[in-house]
Structure 1
Amino acid sequence: MSSPPSATDRPTYRLLAELEAAFDALIARTEALLAAFERAPCEAWAFDASTADAAWLRRALLDFWYQDGQDGRATNSHVGLVAADEALLAHVAEVNVAKAEFAARLAQIREQHPPLIAEAKAVLPFRHPELHTHLRGSGLARLHLKQCWRAIPVAEAPVARVRLAWYTSGRSIKRLSVREAERKLLALDSDAPHVRIQLRRLAGIPDGEPLAQVQAQAPLMRANLFYCEPLEDGRTRRAMNVALPLFLPAPRGRLPDCNQPPAAPPTQRTRARRSDERLEETPFLPSLRVYRYRSA
């Protein structure tokens, strides 16, 4: 019989217990959503599968695992459309609430006791043996926390048509000071010739000049939704990224008109470069993907 946690261990024990409860709620509500879909199947379409049935939806909504060798920053994508009635949409809303609660508990742990994250990844799958058994021999390695808490996309009103397209021009831009860039370069290898060249280049600009570190984002599928009627705020369309099946309000249980996007993203940039692009075309510090801003 294990001894009760000590006074110093109690806060950590509480954090893990709250996370476990949030994970249990997430699984239970996802299972309820899947059961509702199976009881009353509605029209569905899958981009990456020949049949959009209950088995496909289960794989998509319970894909909480890293593949062996998967980049830790990458997430699996399951693009599809589901024509949902009010009852099914209510289940989706409950799942998304559970996902938000799970994300909140994770954020609390990261802030108060970061080492607990590794323990959570090891412990949580074993709370649901029916989920964990398929890990054996299937190339699945460990729990992918982001794939647990990312929300299921939902359209807020009935849609007349959906146009899916690859989006390949996404990028994140982080501002850096000259001193921050210098520290990052020195952390690489200050004796390397290419680093010394970049350090000299950096020394030639004002200390107060802001720089931009650019990270290209992986291609993703974007859905352009065209509503049947204007929304209260006057909007008639919306664009949203869809890494999970998109649930569409459909009182008649039918999917709207939808295109078939290419099987793979284009290999080259498809959007024209904006005329008001604020960054220079070539990187100022190539080793860090750092650019200068264009002069006014």
Structure 2
Amino acid sequence: MATEADADISNNQATGGANSSVAGNNNTGVSIGAEIQGGNQNVAVGYSSQIINGSLNNAENYGALIIGGGTGNTAIGTNAQVINGTSLEAVGYGAAAGWGNNNTAIGNHAYAGGNVYDRPTPSNNNVAIGHYAEAYGGSSVAIGDYSVANEANTVSVGQPGYERRIMNVAPGYYDTDAVNMSQLRRVDSKVDRVGSIAMAMSGLAPLPYDPKDPTQYSAAYGTYNGTGAVALGIYHYTKPSIMYNMAVAMSDDRWEKSARFGVTWRTGGAKAKVLTPAVVTEKPAEENTIESRVKKILAGEDVTN
């Protein structure tokens, strides 16, 4: 052991010179000012590194600090800190993890854990990776400089005003997979095709019933957001009050297809009289025409009857 280093209790080692201090059991302090205050199997390496109680903890680099009596914690980096928890990791200058379990902070001033801002409660299973990245939502992940994951079970790659794109994402397969832009564009294109088909279908319309020609045909063209479609329809009256119709439509982009079949019938009320060219065949009586009345008036005859 080096001169002026202090090791108390049993199986402890203090190496590195003045102000190194180790207490507890099976602990090791290395470098000037390294300090372990109790606990078991802890290692403090670096100037002013410090572990206060707990077991199986490792603090490395200048000012690295582990406090709270937890187990299996690691603080690596200048002024890296682990506070109150188990299985915590803080790696990087000023990185911190704490106030919960299984939190990991990697990057300068990254933070993962609880007891932050307006949430004075523990938070577990958070991961923050990046310069000033923060993850404290609970089972949350923050990736990238200044990214913030403040909601449970979320992954964040930025924050409002510092958004990022995620590149090289494979097409999603299962219902809960992420969707990439190629899939989204296909959906957008399909919406355009369906819209154009709807416009074309709406342009089909039958003419009034004609007993001499009960079958009719109709065609229409529609467009939506630059995508076009054509529609063809057929209408057939089996009687004046019943009409069957069928139509098909197809877009001009990837040949999206659609079809319909329907029937229309009239119920209730007085039956409408069907007008045909043969309905009006008789001429009005000569004496009742306007022309004959004018002639009578000019001749001075009485036309009041």
Q: Which has the larger radius of gyration?
A: 2
Report TM bin, short chain.
Answer: under 0.3
**If the length of structure 1 is used for normalisation, what is the TM-score?**
0.18
Structure number with higher relative contact order (C-alpha < 8 Å, ≥ 6 residues apart) = 1
More strand by share: 2
